[in-house]
Amino acid sequence: MKNRYRGHSDYHETVAFHYDYRHDPFIPPLRVVSAGNAMWAGSHRLSRNNSDLFGIEMITEGDSIFTQNGREYLVKAGEVYFLRRGCAHEYKVGPSGFLHKRYCVIEGGGLEPLLRAMNLFECDYVKPFPPATVSDILKRMNIALKQKLSGFTADLSFLAYRLLLELGRNLTVQYPEPVRAAVEFMQQNLHRSLECDRIRERSGLSTTHFNRLFHHFTGVSPMQFFISQRIAWARHLLTQTSMSVKEVANAVGFEDSLYFSARFKKYTGYSPKKYRMENVNETK
């Protein structure tokens, strides 16, 4: 199996199943619109500019060279890469000369808040452990879309949620202990307004060392990360509950609802009321 397609200069085969939710009476906040598996060999590649989809792809055999917004990764068997919206990306066969992969495409109003809450919104690449768990979820998505049994869209939504939780858990585990301790402390205190020193204390590092290490592994400062987590939780509450804007503000650590609205608009481009109006219909 290892060099099965080495003699092919541009071999590719894909088996995919799709579903159009537009006429479905039940439209969940997480929707798996496509799932499948593929075999590539030789020089086969695919690229997009300003992608309009969010995809998750797992290499099950061989390897792939994946580039997204100028960052290049060698993705090996058992590893996952994310095709992020609004990004330029290219993926192609790696040094092994072939690859097998499983993948899915997910959409819905609940997607972005969950990606942000799980620290996956700007993530390109994860090494899940054990990889069999992720592979099994992707396989079950494929089967559900193929068979389309009663209630399959709800089952797919649940599988998408499980997949993102599993990948988010794995990403957090991959942080070094000082960063992981700080991230867990933030996630436990989204209802509070924390000073940077309170967060840093959980790492056990000096301010300079902590800030440098945190930025290296997350791409942002500790406070930027924390406020983005609070805003992500606010998005979820606005679209998934009937809480007032003031109640949402208090739930994510803002005593002043006007200040919360200003911060929310800075991060999302919408006021909380406008965001709810634009997104609640999409998630139902």
Residues forming CATH 2.60.120.10 domain(s) in the chain = 10-174
Lookup: tokens for 90: 């290219």
Q: Give tens-digit pLDDT for 48-86.
A: 988 889 999 999 999 999 999 888 999 999 999 999 988
Residue 134 has what pLDDT? 95
For residue 211, how many C-alpha atoms fall within 13 Å in the half-sphere facing its CB? Answer: 8
Residues forming CATH 1.10.10.60 domain(s) in the chain = 177-283
CB 30 within 8 A of CB 21: no
Residue 169 has what pLDDT? 83
Residue with tokens 């967060």: 199
- Report whether pLDDT(5) > 70: no
- Report whether pLDDT(7) > 70: no
Return d(Cα 199, Cα 222) in angstroms, integer.
Answer: 8
The average pLDDT across 243-254 equals: 94
Residue 139 has what pLDDT? 96
pTM given for the model: 0.67
Handedness of CA 196, 202, 208, 209 (dihedral sign): negative
Residue 9 has what pLDDT? 62
- SS (HEC) of the chain: CCCCCCCCCEEEEEEEEECCCCCCCCCCCCEEEEEEEEEEEECCEEEECCCCCEEEEEEEEEEEEEEECCEEEEEECCCEEEECCCCCEEEEECCCCEEEEEEEEEECCCHHHHHHHCCCCCCCEECCCCHHHHHHHHHHHHHHHHHCCCCHHHHHHHHHHHHHHHHHHHHHHHCCHHHHHHHHHHHHCCCCCCCHHHHHHHHCCCHHHHHHHHHHHHCCCHHHHHHHHHHHHHHHHHHHCCCCHHHHHHHCCCCCHHHHHHHHHHHHCCCHHHHHHHHHHHHC
Return d(Cα 207, Cα 271) in angstroms, integer.
Answer: 34
CB 60 within 8 A of CB 101: yes
Q: Give tens-digit pLDDT for 93-128.
A: 999 999 999 999 999 988 888 887 787 888 899 988
CATH number of 177-283: 1.10.10.60
The average pLDDT across 134-162 equals: 95
The average pLDDT across 90-94 equals: 95
Tell me the pLDDT of the chain averaged across its residues: 88
Taking Cα atoms as reference points, which of 231, 233, 239 lies closest to residue 267? 231
**165-169, 203-207, 224-228, 264-268 — which one is most confidently predicted on average?**
203-207
The average pLDDT across 156-169 equals: 92
The average pLDDT across 162-179 equals: 85
**CB-based burial of residue 9 (10 Å sphere; 0-12 exposed, 13-18 middle, 19+ buried)?**
exposed
CATH class of the domain comprising 10-174: mainly beta
Q: Give tens-digit pLDDT for 192-245.
A: 989 999 999 999 999 999 999 998 887 789 998 899 888 888 887 887 788 999
